[in-house]
Chain A
């Protein structure tokens, strides 16, 4: 498989995106990375392997410890792949969704109902 596919696979899972987010703050040890997740350690190991295959992390031995750090460069490949219209529509639909979420919150706080009946046109 090509690297772009590996990168997309790597960032397709929320846990791996959270790991990338964690490593964006600086290198960390394996147990520190695993700690916030309610996962078996070998599941974390599998996630890290996929990130490593995509070239998104590297391991460096420092004395007795192994530090894992982020290599964000492959993410730029993904960025180059994103079409301007993908960005355009995603931004527009984000705003559109926000509008309905705000409306839903207002309705819930007013009526206590989650699913208000549809308004008559």
Chain B
């Protein structure tokens, strides 16, 4: 995570054991667990340039506009939700084919640097869950 003035950028990288086309398609298929469209209470999804999405999850609405859809390499879209506090943040996901699978890099930038975003309690739970099991037991 890096910071500039009042906005923040979150970056997550992961190697997924499948081809870049499979991972790209999986990211846009609402039936695949883990992508932002899965488990929606209400979903409208039109993944093409200038297509819009509306994703209501646990009573929280998220919406945005696709700005780049380049199969199988890149997807970018804007992202607004109550957590972006009126700011139009940007999500860019790139898929790079490697020998072991596909390196997926997600960069969410233009996020407001607010206390609400840096929830201590939630951050702590996240941290524990990411830690070895024996640590969480304590």
- Count of interface residues, chain B, beta-carbon cutoff 8 Å: 44
B69 at the interface (CB under 8 A from A): no
Q: Please give the residue numbers on chain A whose beta carbons come within 8 Å of chain B beta carbons, in ascending order.
A: 17-18, 20-22, 24-25, 75-76, 78-87, 89-101, 103-104, 118-119, 121
Q: Which residue from B25, B32, B122, B126 sits with its C-beta under 8 Å from A96?
A: B32
Q: Please give the residue numbers on chain B whose beta carbons come within 8 Å of chain A beta carbons, in ascending order.
A: 1, 8, 10, 12, 14, 16-19, 21-23, 25-27, 32-36, 38, 83, 101, 104, 106, 108, 111, 116-120, 122-124, 126-127, 130-132, 134-135, 137-138
A86 to B10, CA, bound (A): 6
Q: Which residue from A18, A20, A81, A96 sits with its C-beta under 8 Å from B16?
A: A96
Main secondary structure on B side of the interface with A: mixed
Q: How far is the CB of A21 from chain B (nearest CB, A)?
A: 4
Chain B residues within 8 Å of A119, by CB: 22
Q: How far is the CB of A28 from chain B (nearest CB, A)?
A: 13
Residue of B nearest to A91 (CB): B126
Residue of B nearest to A105 (CB): B17
Q: How far is the CB of B76 from chain A (nearest CB, A)?
A: 14
A104 to B12, CA, bound (A): 22
Chain B residues within 8 Å of A92, by CB: 34-36
Q: How far is the CB of A61 from chain B (nearest CB, A)?
A: 24
Q: Which residue from B36, B122, B131, B137 sits with its C-beta under 8 Å from A87?
A: B122
Q: Which residue from B16, B38, B138 sits with its C-beta under 8 Å from A100?
A: B16
A84 to B122, CA, bound (A): 7
- Contact B10 A97, beta carbon cutoff 8 Å: no
A94 to B16, CA, bound (A): 10
